[in-house]
Each structure stands twice: as structure tokens, then as C-alpha cells.
Amino acid sequence: MSTLVLRFEVHRYFYIMEIRSIVQDRLQTLICQQNHQASTSDTGGWCESALWHRHMTDQHLVDALAKLFAGQTVVGLGDGRGVYRNLLLETGKIWTYDAFDGAPNIGNISHGQVHRLCLVWNFRVASLRLQPSDQKC
């Protein structure tokens, strides 16, 4: 197999995985919207109503994390709506903070501050390319 064909196949694979992620996100959003009583989607991501009503912020934790991560780049996994992201960035001590969560529609809920990342998938942080595992998300 030539290098050109191999590169094409790799790009095609990642394109398909990105499309799968988008479709899965929309499907989980619809599942949450259909069942207004649900706290989580069937894959375990928090539904929007739970993201707003079940979150509690610990200011002492914010202060401790700001001190711990001062001058650093932070990646938050399971970051919900990005409340801690915003509070830590507001301290001015954190260099950058990239937030990810598996909740359906989290990009819209957080106004683009938190990106969807299904943590039951294998992924490489450097490229943020998702690869499916045997778990569903």
C-alpha cells in the first residue's frame, strides 16, 4: 500500500470518527430532551437540566487549585458547564484552561467554553482525535 493511500485511509478514518461523534452528541441531546426527568443520557453524560441544578461550587477548592496550577496550562476533564474553568481563569493565575465534558450538547450549553469529549473513547490529547473503544458514548 502506498504512503498516499495510507494517508488517505487515516484521514478518512478520523473524518468518520468525527462525524460519529457529532451524530452521537445530537442523539444523546434528543434523548435528554425527550425525557425531562432524566439526569443523565443513556451513555452517562449529564443532561442539561442536571448541569444547571446539581452543580455546587467550592470556592476554597477554586483558591487551592489556582495556587496549585499557577502559571500552568490546565486541561479539565468532566468539567460540566465550565464553572471551575471560568473561576480559575478569573483569578489570573492560570495560563490557559481547556475544558472537556461528555454531556450531550455541552458546546452549546457552555457557549463554546467546554468541548465534548467522550471519555469512554481512546483519545490523544495532542491531536484530540477520537478513536472508539468497545464502550458506547
Q: Which residues, 6 or more positions from 16, have their beta carbon under 8 angstroms from its beta carbon?
A: none
Model pTM score: 0.63
- Give the range of the structural domain holding residue 56, as residue numbers without chain letter: 3-127
Q: What does the alpha-carbon distance between residue 133 and residue 53 come to, in Å, rounded to a whole number?
A: 31
Looking at the DSSP bridge assignments, the partners of residue 128 are: none
Copy the grid coordinates of residue 129.
Answer: 482525535
Can you give the pLDDT at residue 132? Answer: 47
How many folded domains does the chain comprise? 1
Eight-class DSSP state of 113: S
30, part of any domain: yes
| Chain segment 87-121, per-residue pLDDT in tens | 999 999 999 999 998 888 888 889 999 988 876 65
> In this structure, is residue 82 part of a structural domain?
yes
For 79, phi and psi rounded to 5 degrees? Answer: -90, 0
Instruction: Give the confidence band of 8 by pLDDT, cuts at 50, 70, 90.
Output: low
Burial of 11 (C-beta count, 10 Å sphere; 0-12/13-18/19+): exposed
36 part of a folded domain: yes
Instruction: Name 48's Cβ contacts closer than 8 Å, sequence gap at least 6.
Output: 32, 103, 104, 105, 109
